[in-house]
Amino acid sequence: MVKAKSTDRQTEEKIFNAATAIFEEKGFAAARMQEIADHAGINKSLLHYYFRSKEQLFKAVFQPLMKKMFDKLFSVFMLNIPFEDKICMYYNEHIDILLKNPRLPIFLLYEISHNPDLIKSIGESLPTRQLRDAIYKIHHNELQEWGITKKDMPQLMITIVSLAVFPFAARDMMRIVLSKVAEIRNFNSFMQERKAFSASFVISALKNRKK
């Protein structure tokens, strides 16, 4: 019985990993239950034995991914360190995470925009306003010096995130549109460079801000 339960978990995990990979690659609509089963090395019956339906399996995959993403983000921005250091740390960490899951951004963005309910429950549980207020409180002096008001915070936050996330969402577009621009041929090294570029770009913009 004890061993059986352990096997249980292993299988569940195999399924979870397979589903994550397939959903992330193909999206919900184009993913096939058979393919997920194959990828997990089990058969379709067992897939439905563990997760009653495609929707249920999808949610089981999607929501933790989503939460993990945000928790990571929030944890960095909640740190009590100077703003400049925080920006550097954010780009270093977030870009590294995404380099390991390059298809995650386009997957999450697309699925949310086609099924907003999926994330509603998560969204409501996120301490978004607390984050904004915390950031604003921690960095009050710096932000004030740069002329950033509370009203500017959403613009600033979206801006910071854009620089890291957009290139992943636009990866294949870049690959094709900019394929003839030599410097971008290798996406990985482009993103490595981008860590420092983005950080210094944001800091420079803030330091030289006109209201």
Note the residues at the interface with DNA (CB under 7 A).
Answer: 1-5, 7-8, 10-11, 31-34, 41-46, 48-50, 52-55
Query: 49 contacts which partner out of DNA, a second copy, none, CB within 5 to 8 A by kind?
Result: DNA
* Residue 172 dihedral angles phi and psi, to the nearest 5°: -75, -30
Torsion, CA 185, CA 191, CA 193, CA 197, rounded to 10: 120
Tell me: does residue 210 bind a second copy (CB under 8 A). Answer: yes
What's the angle, vertex CA 131, arms to CA 192 and CA 59, rounded to 5? Answer: 75
Q: Which stretch binds a second copy (CB under 8 A): 6-14, 55-63, 83-91, 153-161?
A: 153-161
Euclidean distance between CA atoms 128 and 111, whole angstroms: 21
Query: 2 contacts which partner out of a second copy, DNA, none, CB within 5 to 8 A by kind?
Result: DNA
**Residue 114 in 3-state DSSP?**
helix
Judged on CB neighbours under 10 Å (0-12, 13-18, 19+), 87 is: buried
Query: 13 contacts which partner out of DNA, a second copy, none, CB within 5 to 8 A by kind?
Result: none
Using only C-alpha atoms, what is the Rg of the chain?
Answer: 20
Task: Convert residues 26-65 into a mask of x (bound to a second copy by CB under 8 A) and - (unbound).
Answer: xx-xx-----------------------------------
Nearer to a second copy, 1 or 176 (CB): 176
Footprint (CB under 8 A) of a second copy, residues 116-135: 116, 119-120, 122-123, 126, 128-129, 132
